[in-house]
Chains A and B, each alone.
Chain A
Amino acid sequence: MKTSRQRSRDSRSIGQQQRQFQREEFRGALRALLMTPLMSPMHEDFIAVRRQANALQEWFTRETGWPLQIGREGARLYKRPADLNNSTRGLPDYDRRKYVLLCLACAVLERADPQVTLRILVERLLGLAAEPGLTSLGFTFRLGSHHERRELVAVCRTLLSLGVLQRVAGDEDAFVQGGGDQADALYDVHRPALAGMLAAVRGPSTWPAEEAPDTLDQRLHTLLDEHVADSDEGQRTALRHRIARRLLDDPAVYLEDLNPEARSYFINQRGAMAARLCDATGLVAEQRAEGLALVDETGTLTDIAMPAEGTDAHVTLLAAEYLATDYRQQADTAGRRQPFVKREHDIVDLLRDAKGRYGRYWRKSAREPGAERELAKVAIGRLEKLQLIVRSADSILPLPALARFALGEAEIRQETPDMPIPVSDSLFSR
C-alpha cells in the first residue's frame, strides 16, 4: 500500500520524466535537422522530427527565421546562410562543373515522370547543356570522355544520397566504364525532396531580363534577401536572426567579421543568445573576447570533427598545435609584435619531421616519401574549414580560436578519460 503522498510523488516524477523525454527528443530532432537540412523519411531521426514538428517550426522561426517544412514525405530546413563569403560550405568534392551538372539534372528531373532512367536523364541533360546560354560562357559537356561520365555519376550519387532519386534497378558504375546499352539504371524520382532542393527566396528565373542580377554578389543577395519589416523591431529581429544563423551553422563567430551594427547588438546580447541556443541544441558556449564559439562536446554536430581520430585528423591536430603555440607566444609578447608569418612549406617541414615520430601510426599512403605535401594540404584545408586560419597568398594567418588547440597540460586522469570520439548514441552529456 502506498500513501497518497508517495503516489503523488510518483506521478510527479512520471511527469518530470515525460518532460525530460520531450526535451531530449526535441533536442535530438533539432540537431538532426542542423546536420541534414533535407531529410528523407528514411532518416533515423525523422520520426522524432515529425513528432516535434510544431515545436521545431516555432523554434526555428523565432530564433533564426529559417523556414522549416515537415510532411509525411520528408523534412526540409531552409538553412539560409548569413555569411555569404565562406567558400568552404558547398557540397563535398564539388567543383563549378559539377554544380552546373547538378542544376541541369534537377532541371531535367523537374520535367520528368515519376520514374526515369540514367540514359534518359543524360540524354535530356545533354540537350540542356548545349543551350547557347551555357555554351556562350564556355561551358561544354558532351559526355565524350571518361572524366565527364564520372562527373555525371557523381552528381547522380549526390541526388541519391539526398533522397531525390531512389535506385530501383541497375547501377551507375557500368555507365562510368562507358558500357553500351546495358549500362543503365532506373530511378524513382522523389518529388518532395526535389522540390526542397532549391533554397532560394525567389526563383532565379523570375527576374525579368532587365532586372536580372549579373554579378555574383547581386546574385547571392537575390537568392537570400528576405523581406524585412520596415520597423525598428523588424530590423532588430533580422539582425538577431543573422547572428543566430552564424552561431548555429559556423564553428565560431568573430567580432571583427561583423559590421558595426551587428557587433554592438552581439556584444550586448551574446550571453542571452548563447544561453537560449545552447539550451535547445545541447551545445556549450565558449565566450571569448574576440568572439563566441558554440562547441559540441560529443563531436557529432559537425562534418569535420576536431580533434578526432585518424591520420588526417592527427596531422591537422599537429599543425594546429604548432601554429597555435607560435600564436600564443606572439600574443604573450604583445607590444613587441612581430608579424606572424607561417607558410605552407613550414607545415610540410613539420609533418616531414612528424612522420619520423608518428608515421607508424598513420595509414600506409601517408608514410610514403613526399606524402607530407598532400597531408599539409589536407591539414590546412581542414583548419580553414573550421575557421581557425585564413590564407592569403602563400602565408597562413591564424584566427583567435586556434589558441584552443595549443599544447595544453596533458593531464592523465585516473578514471576513464573522456574519449573525444563521436558517440552517436549519447547526444546528451549530463
Chain B
Amino acid sequence: MQAVSDSAELFRHVSAEKAYFYRCIMDVFAAAKRQYRLQLRPDEVLAEARWPAKLPEIEEVNAALTQLTVWGNLESHPDTARVSSLSDFYRARYLYRLSQGGEAVESALALFVQTLERRAELQSIALEDIASRLEALRALAAETEPDVAKVHETLRDLVRVFEGLAENAQAFMAGVARSIELQQAQAGAVLNYKRQLIDYLERFIGDLVRRSDTIAGLIDALEPRIDAMLQQVAAREGRDAAPGEIQDQIDAQTRYREGWRERWRGLRGWFFRSSHEPSQAELLRARARSAIPQLLAAIAALNERRSGRSDRSADFRVLAGWFVACADDNEAHRLARAAFALNPARHFSLDIDAGIDVPATTRWADAPPLVIHPRLREYGEAAPRGPLPRVRDRTEARTRLARELAQESQQVEAARKRLATGQPTYLSNLGELDTHAFSLFLGLLGEALSEQAGPESVAERPTGDGPLHVHLKPLPPDSYAEINTPRGIFGGRDHVITITSTQDVQ
C-alpha cells in the first residue's frame, strides 16, 4: 500500500498546476542521465532547460526542485563545491539527481509517449531478420562445440526482433479493428492513404506467406537441439547474476531457462498452428486481408458523401422537418413522391382496342368499353373455383399394383428360364410359348436380326439390357418354323437359336 501511494506521489508533477514547468526540469535531468552526468546544480538546470517563454528566476527553479524532491522524483545532496560569493555561501545549496522512482517515471513517460505516437506497422524486415537469426542459430547448432556467447547473442537478437514484430502486429490488429486511421481521416487523407496501405498490406501478406514457411522449417530443424542451447545460455546468464547462495544460483538458472523456453514456445506459436488455434501469423494474415475491405468501405462512404455534395444525414433531418410541417397526410404523400420517387408505375389493365380501330378523336364515353369476362364481373374471380377434390385413399390400388408388378416379374423370370437354356434349339422345336415368353422371344429375335449382316450370316450379341446372350444361325432358306402363341401363330424361316444367360457364360 505504501509503495502505491509513494509511486502515486511520483506522478504528481504531471498533473500539478505548473506541470509544464516541472516537465521542463525533469527533461533536463533525463537528458543529463543520457549523457552520464550524475547530478545537476540549479543554475545548470536553469541554463539547460528549454523554457517555454521567458527565462524563469533562479528562485522559481529552486522552489520547483525542492517540490520535486518532496514528491520523490529527485534526490538532493548538499553541494560542497567552492563558492565565490557570500550570498551563494549562505544560500542552501544542493545538488540534484534523479531518484530511482524518478528514473522509473521518466522511462515510463517516455514509453507512454512512444506508445501513443506509434504508427502500427507490419514489419516485413522483421520477418527477414528472424529468418536470418534462425539460420545463424542453426549454423551454430550444427557445430560440435557451440559458442555459447554467440548463441546467446543471436538468441537475444532474435527475441528482440521478434518482440518488436509481435508488438507492432498487436498494435496493427487493434488499430484495424478500431479502424482508427479510417474513421478519423479526412477525405483527401484517406484517398492518399488508400493506395499506400493496400500496397503495403499486399507486400506484407506476400512476405508473410513466403517467409512463414521458411521460418517454420528453420524452427523445426532447430527443435531437437534447441533445449540444450537454451540450457547453456541460461547457465551463462546465471553466471552474470549477482553472487549469492548456491541455491539462489540454481534457482536463477532455472528461472532463466524457463524464460527462454517460454520465448521459444511463443516463437513456435507464431508460425505453427497449435492443436485448436490458428497460428498468430495466420491470424495476422487474415486481419491484414480484412483491413482492405474496411478501407474500401470507408472510401465508399466518402465517395457517397462527395457525390451527394451535401451531408446526407443532414438532408434527411431537414426533410423530416419538412414532413412535420406538412398540413396533412396528402401533402406528406406529395412530398414523399418528390423526395423518394419510390412509387411503382400504375396503369390500367386490359386493352380495349385489340382489333378495333378507334380514332384518337373519340371520347372515352363514345369508345367501346372494356370487355370484361363475365366471371370477373359476377364472382370477382377469373377462374372457376370449385370445391377441392376429396382426398382419396389409394392404399388398395397401390397394393394391387405391387401385386401385379410382382406377378409380372415372376412371369418374365419364368419366360427367361424357359428360353435361356444355353442349348442350341431349332425354332421349330420351341413349341408353344405363352404371352410373356413370346414377347421376350420377339425382343431377342429382333435384337439378333438387327445384328445380322445378311440373311445367310450368323448373328450373335448380348441383349441390350445385358443379362442374356443370343446366338442365331439361319437354316437353309426353304426351311420353315412355326411357333404357337396365345395371340396366334408366328411363322418364318427356321433358325438355330442359342440363348444363354450371361451369368452362365461366365
Contacts and interface: CB of A to CB of B under 8 A. Distances in A.
**B is bound to A:** yes
Given A299-B350, A304-B346, A404-B369, A81 B337 contact: yes
B82 interface: no
Interface in A387-416: 400-412
B179 to A, nearest CB: 10
| Chain B interface bracket (under 10, 10 to 19, 20 to 34, 35 or more) | 35 or more
Contacts of B368: 408
Contacts of B320: 99-100, 103-104, 107, 128, 134
A114 to B, nearest CB: 6
Contacts of B328: 96
B371 A251 contact: no
B301 A191 contact: yes
Interface in A293-313: 293-299, 301-311, 313
Contacts of A85: 334
B316 interface: yes
A404 B348 contact: yes
A103 B363 contact: no
A134 to B, nearest CB: 5
Interface string B341-374: 1111111111111000010111111111111111
A36 B366 CA distance: 35
Contacts of B297: 114, 191
Contact of B377 (A81, A99, A252, A410): A410
B312 interface: yes
Interface string B364-395: 11111111111011111111000000000000
A199 B373 contact: no
B311 interface: yes
Interface string A80-99: 11001111111100111001
Nearest to A305: B349
Given A38-B342, A206-B309, A361-B380, A400 B335 contact: no
B400 interface: no
A377 interface: no
B332 interface: yes
Nearest to A317: B377
A223 to B, nearest CB: 4
A331 B379 CA distance: 29
B331 interface: yes
A103 B347 contact: no
Interface in B278-337: 297, 300-301, 304, 307-337
A185 interface: no
Contacts of A199: 338-342
A21 interface: no
- Interface centre among B297, B301, B377, by most chain A C-beta atoms within 10 angstroms, is B377
B349 A299 contact: yes
A90 B321 contact: no
A417 B373 contact: yes
A409 B371 contact: yes
Nearest to B373: A417
A15 interface: no
Interface in A253-273: 270-271
A327 B351 CA distance: 21
Given A204-B318, A408-B371, A89 B337 contact: yes
A111 B57 CA distance: 54
Nearest to A34: B345
B380 A310 contact: yes
B337 A90 contact: yes
A159 B297 CA distance: 20
Given A91-B342, A401-B348, A408-B371, A104 B381 contact: no
A219 B218 CA distance: 72
Interface string B5-48: 00000000000000000000000000000000000000000000
Contacts of B318: 204-205
Contacts of A310: 380-381
Interface of B: 297, 300-301, 304, 307-353, 358, 360-374, 376-383
Given A89-B333, A198-B316, 12 more contacts: A100-B323, A104-B320, A138-B324, A199-B339, A203-B315, A283-B347, A287-B358, A297-B350, A299-B350, A358-B380, A385-B346, A406-B369
Shortest beta-carbon contacts, A-B, top 4: A314-B380, A299-B349, A203-B310, A90-B333
